[in-house]
Amino acid sequence: MTHTPSDVLRSRWLEALLPHVAFDGWTEAAASLAACEAGLGEGEQALAAPNGVIDLIEAFFAAAEAEAKAVLAAEDLTALRVPDKVKRGVLAWLDALAPNREAVRRAAARGFLPWSAGPAVQRAWSVADMVWTAAGDTATDYNRYSKRGLLAAVIPGIVMYWLDAPDAADLDAYISRRLQQASGLGRNAGRVVAPVLDFIKALRPDGNPSGRGQER
């Protein structure tokens, strides 16, 4: 993977910032101090994170996602059932975040968890896409979007539960329950959406269903 100069600078800045986040939160003051420690001038800061702390929070979650993706790529998940593959993906992502659990908590306090708004919503989708892709999902129809959307919807609750540092068995059971709930919602949604999509697919280029000609 090729890293741009801004990627390198942002990584340096984030590495210096994370120890401060645990105590001072994702603040501009902490970011400014970390930039000085990383030896970044004003121009380099502008290149690395034009939007300041928001960009650094995004980079933090992006790095965890990339780490989880690499871990999953090195594992053989073929023997697992699909729900277990998805759960393994979620756990790999949480494991990547675990060394900086307090930074995640501080992000939650600022409302910048990866599902709150704007780019954060895209991050939740990206995590769900990473998990489903690692699970071997290759769907291209509405199932692709419903699977990822439903997983993205349960990630907030999973992370908030994880922040309380439950033991491994409790976390595993909690994730299983949330995924099962999401699966149930998906089946119900499919009953409504599938017939609509089937109807759309049956439309001909002239806009008529089932190839029937227009009556004159």
- What pLDDT, in 10s, does the model give residues 39-83? 999 999 999 999 999 899 989 999 999 999 999 999 999 999 999
Indicate if 135 and 37 belong to the same structural domain: no
Indicate if 72 and 146 belong to the same structural domain: yes
Indicate if 73 and 168 belong to the same structural domain: yes
* Domain tally, the chain: 2
Residue 53 burial by Cβ neighbours in a 10 Å radius (0-12, 13-18, 19+) = buried
Indicate if 138 and 193 belong to the same structural domain: yes
Q: Evaluate if residue 126 carries a pLDDT over 70.
A: yes
pLDDT at residue 216, as a whole number: 40
Establish if 65 belongs to a structural domain: yes
Residue 100, helix vs strand vs coil: helix
Establish if 187 belongs to a structural domain: yes
Structure tokens at 70: 């690499």
User: What one-letter code names the amino acid at 205?
Assistant: P
- Measure the CA–CA gap between 36 and 84, rounded to whole angstroms: 44
pLDDT at residue 117, as a whole number: 59
Place of tokens 């992370």: 159
Q: For 27-36, what is each residue's pLDDT tens digit? A: 999 999 999 9
Establish if 161 belongs to a structural domain: yes
Q: Evaluate if residue 121 carries a pLDDT over 90.
A: no
Quote the domain boundaries for residue 177.
58-202
Establish if 215 belongs to a structural domain: no
Average pLDDT over residues 137-148: 89
Write down the pTM of the prediction: 0.82
Indicate if 13 and 108 belong to the same structural domain: no
Identify the band that residue 120 occupies on the pLDDT scale cut at 50, 70 and 90. Answer: low
Q: Which residues contact 40 (CB under 8 A, 6 or more apart)?
A: 9, 12, 13, 48
- Measure the CA–CA gap between 136 and 141, rounded to whole angstroms: 15
Indicate if 75 and 45 belong to the same structural domain: no
- Measure the CA–CA gap between 11 and 85, rounded to whole angstroms: 30
Average pLDDT over residues 8-22: 97
Element (H, E) at 181: helix 168-202
- Measure the CA–CA gap between 151 and 130, rounded to whole angstroms: 11
Establish if 31 belongs to a structural domain: yes
Is residue 91 within 8 A of residue 58, CB to CB? The reply is no
| Between 115 and 24, the higher pLDDT residue | 24
Indicate if 93 and 22 belong to the same structural domain: no
pLDDT at residue 111, as a whole number: 65
Residue 148 burial by Cβ neighbours in a 10 Å radius (0-12, 13-18, 19+) = buried
Is residue 148 within 8 A of residue 128, CB to CB? The reply is yes
Establish if 118 belongs to a structural domain: yes
Establish if 28 belongs to a structural domain: yes
Q: Evaluate if residue 144 carries a pLDDT over 50.
A: yes
pLDDT at residue 196, as a whole number: 40
Give me the numbers of helices (H) and strands (E) for the chain, helices first please: 9, 0
- CATH number of the domain where residue 112 is located: 1.10.357
- 21-25, 74-78, 112-116: the lowest-pLDDT one: 112-116
Indicate if 26 and 111 belong to the same structural domain: no
- Measure the CA–CA gap between 213 and 100, rounded to whole angstroms: 62
Establish if 214 belongs to a structural domain: no
Q: For 178-212, what is each residue's pLDDT tens digit? A: 999 888 765 555 554 454 445 434 544 444 444 44
pLDDT at residue 215, as a whole number: 42
pLDDT at residue 108, as a whole number: 82
